[in-house]
Structure 1
Amino acid sequence: MPAIEHLAQRLASYLSEDQVNLVRRAYFYAEQAHDGQRRRSGEVYVTHPLSVASILADMHMDHQSLMAAMLHDVIEDTGIPKEALVEQFGETVAELVDGVSKLTQMQFETKAQAQAENFQKMALAMAKDIRVILVKLADRLHNMRTLEVLAGEKRRRIARETLEIYAPIANRLGMHSMRVEFEDLGFKAMYPMRAERIRAAVLGARGHRKEIVHKIQQSIAQCLEREGLFGEVSGREKHLYSIYCKMRHKRKSFSEIMDVYAFRIVVDKVDTCYRVLGAVHSLYKPLPGRFKDYIAIPKANGYQSLHTTLFGMHGVPIEIQIRTREMEEMANNGIAAHWLYKSADEKSSHARARQWVKGILEMQQRAGNSLEFIESVKIDLFPDEVYVFTPKGSIMELPKGSTAVDFAYAVHTDVGNQCIACKINRHLAPLSQPLQSGSTVDIVTAPNARPNPTWLNFAVTGKARTHIRHALKQQRRSESIHLGERLLDKALAGFDAQRDQISSEHIQQVLKEYQKNTLEDLLEDIGLGNRVAYVVARRLLAVEGETPQPPSLDGPLAIRGTEGLVISYAKCCSPIPGDPIVGYLSAGKGMVVHVDSCRNISEFRHNPNKCLGLSWAKDVTGEFNVELRVEIEHQRSLIALLASSVNAAEANIEKISMDERDGRTCIVQLVVSVHDRAHLARVIKKLRMLNGMTRITRVKP
């Protein structure tokens, strides 16, 4: 009997006759389209789409997914256009095939970029129809099963991509069986010797374990019988890649990992799960802190089960999972089980998967490039969840190590962007504090607040990191454009000219020379220090047909303290309002403000392309750090005395360190934040009033 008829018989168990005939028709179409093509193994090509459809049939997928599986390589490999598929099989199937089709071969700088672009396209296709990813995963699974025919380097590259991207996606969609097979096949292809040695060790250990496994299984089954509970008890074997990861990351020996015995109990309904839990806890003592209820609070991928660890006979640790038959199906096939159990429940794995794909799409739109996007997605694909509550009592799942900033962005992008503080369990807490399961988190926002660059040091989720980067880029761009405008206007004023006097045709000519699309792009470049305003001004005026006169360097640029990310203050000399200052143009960073006498810029001091005269605006705002060196007699509570004096002058200590010069005198280095020189004078005056004060000096380079 032909292979397609075998498949048709299996499909008849859950699809209608008309639907089976449509799948059969798709097979014959693919067979004709791939006529004459062979796989690397020498088999006729159509065996591949047939195997992919067979994998989906095991998951009881719908007839359209199976048709797309049969046709998934037709567009790419045979030159048949999408329109022909629309005509033959309808819009839905053609869209699925188009979504699964690989990228047209493009020239990327690196393989990483190619992988990232490929995944980006897949994410967009997933957003239209979630079945795209299921067909893609089945396609990858069959390719992994036949991987040995490829050359070593290509085999390892595909295996690495599978372990990094496809196995975590299968996990995220709750498809445990597929994830395990991806990991074991990927592990075998990446590290064949390690995989073989662990496999041999597992086979060797299985003989010693057989008797203990049988005894434990028997005692659990008898216990359930006594209690009048019905459940199927089976031993669970750890798969090779899981053993390897635990040995590597947890620094455990093979024997330590194999010392834990794992069992699964499958029952008929949820109520029985909890009754079985009570029964096994009365049979063996539970290990404190090792009970997890994923039925009441499912994992982010929809996984549900009760987990407990017990002290078995002779102190042997036993891990037990208790779940219903539907949960077992959901655990193994994840989102694919949605087509088997047509659940209208909003919290079904299908709804969760859609939510995840929507989040991926949002990340893709915000990311600067495909590599940044894939980095964010990888973070999101390895969740080890914590469960926290909103002030209204809703549960939110976040990856382990998440902070209030991650929570804020999970609630809404605007909440994250406007976040200024947080309350954890009704108490104010730092935004960087990792969240614990069960905590209630309340975010405090302000309308004009903006993301802080330091958040990237502790934000964990891909969504938070992507949105912070995006907001900072937008903020940096607008600030760079504003600074670029001021620098260019000042340079033009030096030539007794103004921007509005230059015609748009001449501006376009200069933009073309500099390979910029808009004037804003050019101004951003000036603001970031990549182009010198003086040179751009000369070019604009030279284009006008004038011979520009050397600029007048009068009228320094005024610094207001509100310029944001494109103006920074040098740490070497810590300038504060009132100090004579100059600006050093640093490529890509914008302008760095130094004290006029700073030794670090002495060689650039008279170079107009690098240094610019600055002054402080009358309405300058903000706080500026300044370093003080204090010599004072050693006394009790010295730091408290210094802190109270600085506080009395309405200033803050940012940093403090202390050294003893001799038995009597201490040298204290203080970094204090002040508004201007007058404020600094008040701080020094307060410090001078302390008993035993010998000397106070401001530290300058």
Structure 2
Amino acid sequence: MTTVNEEGKALVEQGTFNKEKALAEFMEYIHTYLTDDECNQVLKAFELADKAHEGQLRASGEPYIMHPLAVAEILAHLQIDHITLMAALMHDVVEDTSYSKEDLEKMFGSEVAFLVDGVTKLNQFQYETKEDRQMENYRKMILAMAKDVRVVVIKLGDRLHNMRTLKHMRSDKQKRIAKETLEIFAPLAHRLGIFNVKWELEDLSFRYLEPEKYYDLVDQMKQKRQAREDIVNDTMSQLTKALEEAHIKADIKGRPKHFYSIYKKMKKDNRDLSQIYDLLAVRVIVDTIPDCYAVLGIAHSLWKPLPYRFKDYISMPKSNMYQSLHTTVIGTMGQPVEIQIRTWEMHRVSEYGVAAHWRYKEGNKSGDKDFDQKVAWLRQVLEWQDTSNPTELVNALKLDVFSGEVFVFTPKGDVVKLPIGSVPLDFAYRVHTDVGHRCVGAKVNGKIVPLDYTLQNGDIVDIITSKTGRPSLDWLNIVGSSESKSKIRN
């Protein structure tokens, strides 16, 4: 809770915050996918949070309960389960009111209490600096998340609503929160496959960190909006006609690109907006995987594909289980258009990410397998880290989890995913610890390369070992993944 600003006081006086209306809309929405009994449990959690936060206000001047309600609403649109919604509604109760974790456990059970505790910041300890406390908070969240990933799903909803209401904060605080969001929370949303949350977090952070660049880009995009929409609509109508003739049932929509991802491309390639190719995107959703490839063939017969712009994430899914075919074609009026093709199941995973898991959990064993793969990266990081050192743990996450990925192959054709910047030693250690320890050289695509060669997508890597091979201290400066570093240190 913070002091209320003048604008906030005015809003309170006008009665702009309508708790009853917001609650009614939220309850109506969750009734579309939860049972009556589950909805009643969610309502009980709301009633307790409402009572606990009574009299508390946010910086905007609104009653505090509007915040947990907004967080629960964000998560409801990910179709999350009722247990998580209950914890989201009460996520600040232990931190900011007289209720304890034990109280919540008695009233709502251990699962809800664990989730609330996982999101609760550590207030009872004294830390040397603010940074120390923040790192310790991250450590607590990461360890809780390893037991139950819903902890971080709640935290993402909490952070998204805080970012949406950031204008009520001092500008130094806005920048600090935006930077942390961009470095920690947006990458977490990406790794959990919750893309809508990731994109909004990135765009909001960009707006506060680089306001001039943000508004300049918004203006540039506005000026060309009509022309862009005409191109997308023309592409969609030509594709719809071709798919109808081929008797392929498809849902085709245009998709706006997000400001931050456009800005990142401009910065990385040192280009201005007119030189960015995939500002325009068309998404095609079909029933089956063979249909995906059939649509790709039709798109390539209608328009010329741009070389090096095709990605097959269906046969090689990203580690957050994202699957789609991406191709960029020179569409109508000579403008490049990106086309993404996926099935409905792939679309569900890309919309909801890991959040989809709980809804479909009952009797869905393949869902469990997918889910385990989705969070395997987290277990890996924890297995190889000294989890008692919060700074090292957060740095390892940044190094392994938040960097992009490179896909390479074993000589037998198996795919190995590694963080971008990995070298043959990282590949060797990923195959087996002993292969890493005994590595004396490497071949990439049939040619001998140095051990510090940076692996590229599609490389075929063959490790040369020797019984007398031993790890060297220099390797710590060469390897790109924290998993390899830990194995070498050990």
Q: 1:103 Cα shift? A: 2.1
Residue among 428, 449, 472 paired with 1:452: 472
Distance 2:223 2:178 in 1: 27
How do 1:268-287 and structure 2 match up within 5 A? 268-287=287-306
Instruction: State the SS of the aligned residue for 2:309.
Output: coil
Would the alpha carbon gap of residues 450 and 47 (structure 1) be closer, same or farther in structure 2, given more than 3 Å must change? farther
Residue among 55, 61, 64 paired with 1:36: 55
Distance 2:335 2:50 in 1: 55
Aligned to 1:125: 144
Distance 1:340 1:88 in 2: 23
How do 1:595-674 and structure 2 match up within 5 A? none
Per-residue Cα deviation, 1:653-690 (whole angstroms, up to 9, x for no partner) = xxxxxxxxxxxxxxxxxxxxxxxxxxxxxxxxxxxxxx
Aligned to 2:376: 355
Distance 2:124 2:258 in 1: 36
What letter matches 1:365 in structure 2? D
Q: 1:151 Cα shift? A: 0.6
Residue among 326, 329, 354 paired with 1:307: 326
Q: 1:400 Cα shift? A: 2.8
Distance 1:265 1:17 in 2: 35
Distance 2:117 2:465 in 1: 43
What letter matches 2:228 in structure 1? R
Aligned to 1:66: 85
Aligned to 2:335: 316
Instruction: State the SS of the aligned residue for 2:416.
Output: strand
Q: Does 1:251 align with 2:244?
A: no
Distance 1:450 1:18 in 2: 61
Aligned to 2:216: 197
Q: 1:399 Cα shift? A: 2.3
Per-residue Cα deviation, 1:456-489 (whole angstroms, up to 9, x for no partner) = 3331123223443x43xxxxxxxxxxxxxxxxxx
Q: Quick check: 1:178–1:333 contact (8 Å CA) kept in 2? A: no
Distance 2:104 2:281 in 1: 48
Would the alpha carbon gap of residues 170 and 87 (structure 1) be closer, same or farther in structure 2, given more than 3 Å must change? same
Q: Does 1:331 align with 2:337?
A: no
Q: 1:455 Cα shift? A: 1.9
Distance 1:177 1:142 in 2: 13
Aligned to 1:495: none
Aligned to 1:403: 423
Q: TM-score, normalised by structure 1?
A: 0.63
Q: Quick check: 1:301–1:349 contact (8 Å CA) kept in 2? A: no
Per-residue Cα deviation, 1:506-535 (whole angstroms, up to 9, x for no partner) = xxxxxxxxxxxxxxxxxxxxxxxxxxxxxx
Aligned to 2:75: 56
Aligned to 1:219: 238
Aligned to 1:293: 312
Q: 1:111 Cα shift? A: 4.5
Q: Quick check: 1:420–1:444 contact (8 Å CA) kept in 2? A: yes
Instruction: State the SS of the aligned residue for 1:365.
Output: coil
Q: 1:94 Cα shift? A: 0.7
Q: Quick check: 2:426–2:480 contact (8 Å CA) kept in 1? A: yes
Distance 1:25 1:267 in 2: 40
What letter matches 2:39 in structure 1? V
Aligned to 1:626: none
Q: 1:100 Cα shift? A: 1.0
Would the alpha carbon gap of residues 447 and 154 (structure 1) be closer, same or farther in structure 2, given more than 3 Å must change? farther
Would the alpha carbon gap of residues 296 and 269 (structure 1) be closer, same or farther in structure 2, given more than 3 Å must change? same
Instruction: State the SS of the aligned residue for 1:49.
Output: helix
Q: Quick check: 2:278–2:338 contact (8 Å CA) kept in 1? A: no
Aligned to 1:664: none
Per-residue Cα deviation, 1:264-308 (whole angstroms, up to 9, x for no partner) = 111122121111111111111222232211111101110000011
Distance 1:445 1:43 in 2: 65
Q: Quick check: 1:311–1:317 contact (8 Å CA) kept in 2? A: yes
Q: 1:349 Cα shift? A: 4.6
Which range moves more in the overlay, 237-246 or 122-131?
237-246
Q: Quick check: 1:366–1:466 contact (8 Å CA) kept in 2? A: no
The number of aligned residues is 469
Would the alpha carbon gap of residues 138 and 202 (structure 1) be closer, same or farther in structure 2, given more than 3 Å must change? same
Aligned to 2:365: 344
How do 1:478-493 and structure 2 match up within 5 A? none
Q: TM-score, normalised by structure 2?
A: 0.89
Q: 1:144 Cα shift? A: 0.8
Bigger radius of gyration among the two: 1
5+ residue gaps, structure 1, are 472-701
What letter matches 1:238 in structure 2? K
What letter matches 1:361 in structure 2? L
Instruction: State the SS of the aligned residue for 2:326.
Output: strand
Q: Quick check: 1:156–1:190 contact (8 Å CA) kept in 2? A: yes
Q: Quick check: 2:262–2:279 contact (8 Å CA) kept in 1? A: no
How do 1:171-570 and structure 2 match up within 5 A? 171-257=190-276, 260-342=279-361, 343-345=364-366, 349-365=370-386, 369-390=389-410, 393-413=413-433, 415-424=435-444, 429-444=449-464, 450-468=470-488, 470-471=489-490
Per-residue Cα deviation, 1:298-340 (whole angstroms, up to 9, x for no partner) = 0111000001121223432221110112211211221112234
Q: Quick check: 2:439–2:465 contact (8 Å CA) kept in 1? A: yes
Distance 2:412 2:233 in 1: 48
Would the alpha carbon gap of residues 132 and 418 (structure 1) be closer, same or farther in structure 2, given more than 3 Å must change? farther
Aligned to 2:11: none
Instruction: State the SS of the aligned residue for 2:283.
Output: strand
Which range moves more in the overlay, 166-175 or 388-397?
388-397
Q: Quick check: 1:363–1:373 contact (8 Å CA) kept in 2? A: no
Distance 2:127 2:70 in 1: 31
More helix, by proportion: 2
5+ residue gaps, structure 2, are 1-19
More strand, by proportion: 1
Aligned identity (percent) is 47
Which range moves more in the overlay, 107-116 or 288-297?
107-116
Instruction: State the SS of the aligned residue for 2:271.
Output: coil
Instruction: State the SS of the aligned residue for 2:366.
Output: coil
Higher relative contact order (CA 8 A, sep 6+): 2
Aligned to 2:107: 88
